[in-house]
Amino acid sequence: MNEYDYIVVGSGIGGLYTALLAREQGSVLVITKGSIDDCNTKYAQGGIAAAIGKDDSTQLHIQDTINAGAGLSNEETVNILAKEASARIADLVYFRVPFDTIDGEIALTMEAAHSVPRVLHAGGDATGEQIESALSKKVRDSGIQVLENFLATEILVEKRKVAGIKAIDRRTGTEEEFQCRFLILATGGAGQLFKYNTNSDVATGDGIALAFNAGAEITDMEFFQFHPTALRMPGVPPFLISEAVRGEGGMLRNAEGLRFMFNYHEKEDLAPRDIVARSILNEMKKAGSDRVYLDVTHLPPHTITTRFPQIYRFCLDRGLDITKAQIPVAPAAHYMIGGVRTNSWGETNIMGLFAAGEVACTGVHGANRLASNSLLEAIVFSRRIIERTKNKVKEKVAKEENIKDIQVSLSQRPIPKILPTPGLAVLQQLHWDKAGIIRDKDGLNQAAGILAGWQNALPRPTDQPSYELHNLILTGRLLTEAACIREESRGAHFRSDFPQNVPKWKCHIVWQK
């Protein structure tokens, strides 16, 4: 009864798209800890990048991606991403994703660090929601078995090959085992590590913990992308204000109402995300404020209401008309760049175990993700996973040329004599303060020591909250320990005690249990 060809864990774009393709090859089970629609995909406002415009080219997309990656992008996977992009967009159109059009042609917008407008969007600023809705409807209509409210707790491995997975039914607390030939992790990221984040509540690092505990390699965990502009209003949870708002002409202003990005970067408001986030942080510190402002009041009101209907309505419901008043914003944790290490076919170092989407590290993003490449990465490499499972030939996980690895394992570290009581709010504040946008040795060591202490002290998890806390603590340790090791600043990782990019650190930090 519980044997399948494919088991997919997660129901975002990577999981659902993979399940739809896998259905043509054999029996499929999708396991998701919430409902089929609980995921980060639907929060992706900006869109999906693809070089389909007349002034664009695959080569230009490749170059922009590599430039953003700060020397750590895997050129093989970047080439695959850009070259397969248009075919995967055609797949989404086939699955009834309603991309916005102008005069019958797909509309393209500009985002930071792209050379030309190349970002497709749907429903204005509801791209992720539209994709998620189209794919989940297709999965439901196709009869694929979906187990909602099941939390995966352990990957079963026999002789370094996947055998299946254990999961608990959240409603009854009972544990079940499911066997499979191929297991695809599509569990999303770990934004809940941080006090201020733009992620769904389900983004608790589950896939990282599952894979690490099974013996899979985890890499690039020190690179966590902070979005520069999340809504910052009292009593309102951080809400993403898409980068496309700046792409359409939105301007950042400090507490005094002055534009400031020209002091930090030649591309001003469209500088790379990490630079914009740190610049905003600096302006907030100088003014003693917890926010800056994003101004779109100079744009025609109908442009704002039609291009950004979700953002407009969300703000209006909270008493802010963004056609007339500036938007208070501050940075928030947004995207986990590192993850479960895969090759260009989505394979890990454990036979039969694959990873797709934000939980995976294909090497495409390097040290800093180019805006709107994430949804594209999820579908490009999800398809390659299914292509790979058709082929019995096994090859080793590819290693990039010219980029070395530092192989590390979690070791004992000094634990503070007095530990704060472990809990989600304390953990989120700890990461925000000590392992956030700007880091240093003392703060990272302090955070890593507390996390190690919690790891030793906590009892075995028994329910969803305790499993999620365990998963966040382990994921946080991998992040903080990697950030301690990397004594330089590169891409999304910034150390105030090592502010320069150092050539010897052109390498990947790879964790394995």
Catalytic positions are: 273
Q: Are strands 145-147 and 150-158 parallel, antiparallel or unpaired?
A: unpaired
- Helix/strand/coil percentages in the chain, nearest 5: 35, 20, 40
The secondary element (H helix, E strand) that includes residue 151 is strand 150-158
Among 234, 247, 8, smallest CA distance to 120 is for 247
Distance CA 32, CA 210 (A): 14
Among 212, 240, 211, 209, smallest CA distance to 227 is for 240
Distance CA 22, CA 19 (A): 5
Q: How many CA atoms lie within 13 A of 195 on its CB side?
A: 14
Amino acid sitting at position 244: A
Distance CA 39, CA 10 (A): 8
The crossing angle, in degrees rounded to 10, of helices 13-22 and 374-389 is 30
Whether the CB-CB separation of 492 and 274 falls below 8 Å is answered with: yes
Helix (H, G, I), strand (E, B) or coil at 233: strand
User: CA separation (Å) from 435 to 276, 333, 447?
Assistant: 18, 11, 7
Distance CA 494, CA 491 (A): 7
CA 313 to chain centre: 25
Among 299, 302, 306, smallest CA distance to 326 is for 299
Distance CA 132, CA 134 (A): 6
Q: How would you label 161-172 residue by residue, b for 16+ Cβ within 10 Å and e otherwise?
A: ebbbbebbebee
Among 241, 184, 133, smallest CA distance to 356 is for 184
Distance CA 476, CA 434 (A): 11
Residues in contact with 221: Cβ distance below 8 Å, sequence separation at least 6, in sequence order: 208, 336, 338, 339, 475, 478, 479, 482, 509, 511
